[in-house]
Amino acid sequence: MNQISDKFEILKNYFGHTQFRNGQEEVIDNLYSKRDCVCIMPTGAGKSMCYQIPAMMMSGITIVVSPLISLMQDQVNSLIQSGVSAAYVNSSLNLSQYGKVLRLMSESRYKIVYVAPERLESESFVDICQKIDISMVAVDEAHCVSHWGQDFRPSYLNISEFISKIGSRPVVGAFTATATKQVKDDIVKLLKLNDPFQVTTGFDRPNLYFSVLHPESKSLTLMSLIRQRQSLCGIVYCSTRNNVEKICDIINENGMTATRYHAGLSEEERKKNQDDFVFDRVSVMVATNAFGMGIDKSNVSYVIHYNMPKNLESYYQEAGRAGRDGSHAECILMYAPNDVRTAKFFIENNENSKLSEEEKNAVKERELERLKYMTIYCTTKDCLRSFMLRYFGERTPNYCGKCSNCVSNFETADITIDAQKILSCVVRMRENFGIKMVCDVLRGSRNARVLGMHFDSLSTYGLMKDYSENKVRSIINSLIVKNCLNITEGKYPLLKIGKNAMPVLKGEVRIQTQILKDEQIKPPKQGDNSNESAFDAELLEHLKSLRKNMAARASVPAYVIFTDAALKDMCRKKPKSLGEFSNVSGVGRVKVDKYGEIFIKAITDFEKSHTSD
């Protein structure tokens, strides 16, 4: 396939979209102009297109370093179905297949080749790469290069050495869904990126509904949750192999279909079980965190954590395997105090021979700090989405309306008077103190610091003595979001008066917002908070059946043919011509040519049969 110069032509003809998402175009433009990039986008935001599109525009071959066989297979199947020449190199290939890929690489028959990091040390692979035009190296799941990342992989440390061996240095792009500042710095340093363009589009996944439950019986609650979602596809994560075995057996004994995945199984069984899940032969995968990094299965409607993960980075990545196609999906975490002890055990007993004793101790200390925030997430009454996004460094409202705490714990209130009290207090404290101290003064604390600073003599002292600290903090957070207050950066953040404060203080503007209730609440019931447009559910099932047959003939997962989101768009638009079919979201030129007439006929026949009824 010859390279194509127009990014919009590729976007439409091969991927079926007419507009780029936030951040995609900037990364594509920088990579195409030969500038290294670091791209941090949430799962489902379209990271892969950021390197696939420039790969198709460049003259040579793009090497994509990817950590898991399943991810490579998914990506390559999807690219081939969209008309892009692609292949993968990993341990699943026999000697003959490996030789064929290398031969076709030498003939420049591919635009994109996915490779496991371990293969970068292979002399035969390096030899081929030295002889061909490598235009770009894209590093997927780039956080694996850092031992501060949640999935450190020593093999990722070989990437920069591989790049140095292949002659003329290609442009390098690093991609991940989650990375703290320390991990980002490691990515730049360890991959030896040259003045990289860096983009972080934000971590929010608006289509995901987050929930934390504190059930008396986890197994009974789990069965109830899965039974309510029998027609849907989901993942259940457990912290131990024993729990995986136990939960998988319980689900199957209750008449539902589940399979299992953990490191204690043979490679053959893991592959079979994963294929059963990916190809929709079973609806539930019960697994440890050994399963799923990079899994591209787009129709996962829920992810349930039977046990609490050891950090928010892992949780957000694992939960993010739900709703990859943008459809509404649920992320449910079942918490019990024992989960903390289990997580601590894994942290204390995690030995990595690649690290020095000093590095091991530093990693252990960091992991315990992460565990603390994970535990707070499971027990807070605050907005779950807000808590998570702030952990990753984003400023967000304290109410999302799509998490279990917001649905149960928040109320709409006019906070104008409370806002005036808080703003007045910040002014009287000369804008020299943080949130905790302002809360103490407003609530009339008698602690030594408040009394020592003589803040008990301020007119605002004790004005909110009947409020909990959480509620005062909730209102302060709302005022920060509305730019009535600002909070400084640094080790000791201070509250400052914002640009919108004066009209509120003068009573010229009233403020309504969602704030935290003070009363205790019951665990929330799960519900569908989807805002998706209406579509014909019966037609959708009809098209899913057709898609399943087409996928079986092509020996690929059903979502590789069309995602659920694409099928839902077909149900809304009900195209009657190939031109109309090409306007369905996610349908490119190749799929129009290959499947358009078949699906148009299925929709037309369905309409006729139901009209006559």
Mean pLDDT computed over every residue of the chain:
87
The kind and range of the H/E element at 611 are: helix 589-612
- pLDDT at residue 1, rounded to an integer: 47
- pLDDT at residue 353, rounded to an integer: 61
Of 136, 169, 200, the residue that ends a domain is 200
549 and 510 part of one domain: no
pLDDT over threshold 70, residue 3: no
Host domain of residue 578: 537-612
308 and 446 part of one domain: no
Q: Of the candidates 320, 5, 290, which has an alpha carbon nearest to the alpha carbon of residue 153?
A: 290
234 and 362 part of one domain: yes
105 and 213 part of one domain: no
- Quote the number of domains for the chain: 4
What the block records as the tokens of 191 is 């991959």
172 and 219 part of one domain: no
Please state, in angstroms and rounded to a whole number, the distance separating the CA atoms of residues 381 and 26. Answer: 38
pLDDT tens per residue, range 485-532 = 988 866 678 999 999 999 999 999 998 877 766 543 333 344 444 444
pLDDT over threshold 80, residue 4: no
Q: What is the percent of the chain where pLDDT is above 90? A: 49
Give the DSSP letter of residue 117.
G
Average pLDDT over residues 343-356: 75
What are the φ/ψ torsions at residue 484 (nearest 5 degrees)?
Answer: -85, -25
The residue that leads in pLDDT, 230 or 359, is 230
230 and 299 part of one domain: yes
- Top mean pLDDT of 18-22, 393-397, 502-506 is at 502-506
- pLDDT at residue 287, rounded to an integer: 92
195 and 212 part of one domain: no
Angle at 309 between CA 363 and CA 377, to 5 degrees: 100
Would residue 526 count as lying in a domain? no
Number of other CB atoms surrounding residue 502 within 10 Å: 13
pLDDT over threshold 60, residue 57: yes
Strands (E), 438-534: 485-487, 495-497, 512-516
pLDDT over threshold 80, residue 256: yes
CATH number at residue 425: 1.10.10.10
pLDDT over threshold 70, residue 34: yes
What the block records as the tokens of 387 is 């808590």
pLDDT tens per residue, range 457-476 = 999 999 999 998 878 987 88
CATH number at residue 557: 1.10.150.80
Please state, in angstroms and rounded to a whole number, the distance separating the CA atoms of residues 307 and 341. Answer: 11
- pLDDT at residue 293, rounded to an integer: 54
Number of other CB atoms surrounding residue 194 within 10 Å: 11
Residue reference for tokens 């704030």:
515
- pLDDT at residue 237, rounded to an integer: 95
pLDDT over threshold 90, residue 201: no
Which pTM was predicted?
A: 0.68
pLDDT over threshold 90, residue 135: yes
Would residue 390 count as lying in a domain? no
Would residue 224 count as lying in a domain? yes
107 and 236 part of one domain: no
pLDDT tens per residue, range 214-244 = 888 899 999 989 988 988 999 999 989 999 9
579 and 470 part of one domain: no
DSSP-assigned beta bridge partners for residue 139? 65, 174
Number of other CB atoms surrounding residue 531 within 10 Å: 8
Q: Are 427 and 498 in contact (CB under 8 A)?
A: no
Would residue 525 count as lying in a domain? no
The residue that leads in pLDDT, 376 or 394, is 376
Tabulate helix, strand, coil % of the chain (nearest 5): 50, 15, 40
Number of C-alpha atoms within 13 angstroms, CB side, residue 466? 1
Would residue 328 count as lying in a domain? yes
pLDDT over threshold 90, residue 194: yes
Please state, in angstroms and rounded to a whole number, the distance separating the CA atoms of residues 212 and 199. Answer: 31
pLDDT tens per residue, range 281-295 = 999 999 988 676 546
pLDDT tens per residue, range 178-192 = 777 888 899 999 999
498 and 565 part of one domain: no
89 and 121 part of one domain: yes
pLDDT tens per residue, range 287-341 = 988 676 546 688 899 999 999 998 998 898 889 889 888 888 999 999 998 899 8
Of 484, 516, 548, the residue that ends a domain is 516
Q: What is the percent of the chain where pLDDT is above 70? A: 92
pLDDT over threshold 70, residue 354: no
Of 200, 232, 255, the residue that ends a domain is 200
Please state, in angstroms and rounded to a whole number, the distance separating the CA atoms of residues 512 and 449. Answer: 33
CATH number at residue 245: 3.40.50.300
The residue that leads in pLDDT, 196 or 45, is 196
176 and 299 part of one domain: no
Would residue 31 count as lying in a domain? yes
The residue that leads in pLDDT, 559 or 501, is 501
Would residue 334 count as lying in a domain? yes
Residue reference for tokens 């259940």:
236
Would residue 386 count as lying in a domain? no
